[in-house]
Structure 1
Amino acid sequence: MKVLIVDEMHESIVHMPEELGLEVDYFPNIAQSDVLEKVADYEGLIIRSKFFIDENFLQNAPKLRFIGRAGAGLDLIDIEACKKRNIEIFAANEGNRIAVAEHLIGMLLCLFNNILKSNTEIKNSLWKREENRGEELFGKTVGIIGYGNNGEATASRLIAFGCRILAYDKYRYGFGNQFVTESTMNEIYRDADILSIHIPLTTETNKMFDQTFFERFEKNIYFCNVARGELVVQKDLVDALKSGKVKGACLDVLENEKLNKLSEDQKISFDYLKNQDNVILTPHIAGWTFESYNRINTVLKDKIARFLNLK
């Protein structure tokens, strides 16, 4: 079986499929047009985020049996088109869950304790103690929407800080335990101090977090997004920050991450976000550690082996 790899990945991505007896061609800098010319010869495809796998692409890949996504989330793959062709899809959500959870904890600690703000002030010769009095995670009620790999890993770390966890997952049941309460959205709207979202981007969830959503919360909340930027109506989040309904935000992802190609509305909302002390921004790196870079490949190798009945 021949496998085509079309994105730059950890070097182990070549050796691991070879260990399964697969023939691997690794073209990390290949253009999409060249992939369309080559892909007809391959039974396996491994991608990260170079381009969208759609109906047109699949018409050029008659032999394709599986697609491996080196990361979490399948929003760049037309899942229904793959199902029609009996093409198996693997994501490596398990590979970066530790990195995502640790990153979110770091963002929250920075936000609650004014770490970035006070660091900048001191470097400008300003010593402000009272103005940077912090807030504790201990005792906070955290609503988690999406209790898959990343949601569960995040919850386990927040538990260690003494947080109460309310978790909602539309497609998963029976996961509650002595530390995590399997909750309804109404319970999260009523009790949450912090909201963290861990759901995939789909037609159902696109722009799910809008003005109406934020207004449902009884308390003013802190909002965290380490999933996908398109889940959130960025302008509505800005309005919620301005009104105080959202007290602060930790955002690893944005509605449009091509900062040199923002629409006028997106530029206005981004300019607001980047200038707020109560907003922590990072460039979609929550799952992007040296360890996860390699671990993702290990997860893909294991899933491919199981698919081929090699394990």
Structure 2
Amino acid sequence: MIFTTRFAPSPTGPLHLGHAYSALLAHDMARAAGGRFLLRIEDTDTGRTRPEWEALIFEDLRWLGLAWEEPVLRQSEHLPRYGAALARLARAGLLYPCSCSRSDIRAALAAPQEGVPAGPAYPGTCRGRSMADRRPGDALRLDMARALEHVAGHPPPTYRESGPFGPGVHEVSPDELLISVGDPVLARKEIGTPAYVLAATVDDAHQGISHVIRGADLIPTTALQRLLQTLLGLPTPQYHHHRLIRDESGRRLAKRDDARAIAAWRADGASPVDIRERVGLGRG
């Protein structure tokens, strides 16, 4: 199998040094393996994405010296593919509609009802609803208990990690999924809009990604993605979760940190080599 990886930013703000590190590391690893580097634009959050942010992504990455295969995959152009995945899960009886707002969930967790298991993510308020009851404005949640029953009797899902945070083969824990993840949203309240965890899982398979290279902040999503791969019959890539780039106070960078945006460094006269050295990748 050809080493194939991707950088998958969302055009909701400027790329910062953390994005530069992730993109450069993935590009370096693909080049060292004689493999492929792909760019994916994760633009399903239509309320926050902007064409000017997407244009700046391309400008920043080219300035850093990255090259990728064309055409670039834009998730907004492939909504039917995610709809097909949701339909497969629905046919298996693993989805249910949910009308709960965040305030509803907070209130239910503060005062859980008898017989409704309260976890850190979602208390199961709408779990008894059927898909036939879905109304406009409802999200779709995965019934985690049913999903785990669906894969029971098969070898436990595993994945291989090659990054600095626990390298080796990891077995997905059903208890971890039930307690820490709960019933996750797989489709947001906007009809046809997939949640990140579903869209990224489907696209990694569609693009033949063999190695997912991303920040350690996404480690908690890996077990859920591994379960979705099993439920949907998708291949499992190898994962490499890397360290995060942090500011002087130790906080990980966010898009609101405009002063650390790649474009700002570029405007101040920094070179691509300066950026590589600042994030600890050397001169390349």
Q: Shorter-chain TM-score category? A: under 0.3
Which of the pair has more CA radius of gyration? 1
**Superposition TM-score, scaled by structure 2 size:** 0.24
**Superposition TM-score, scaled by structure 1 size:** 0.23
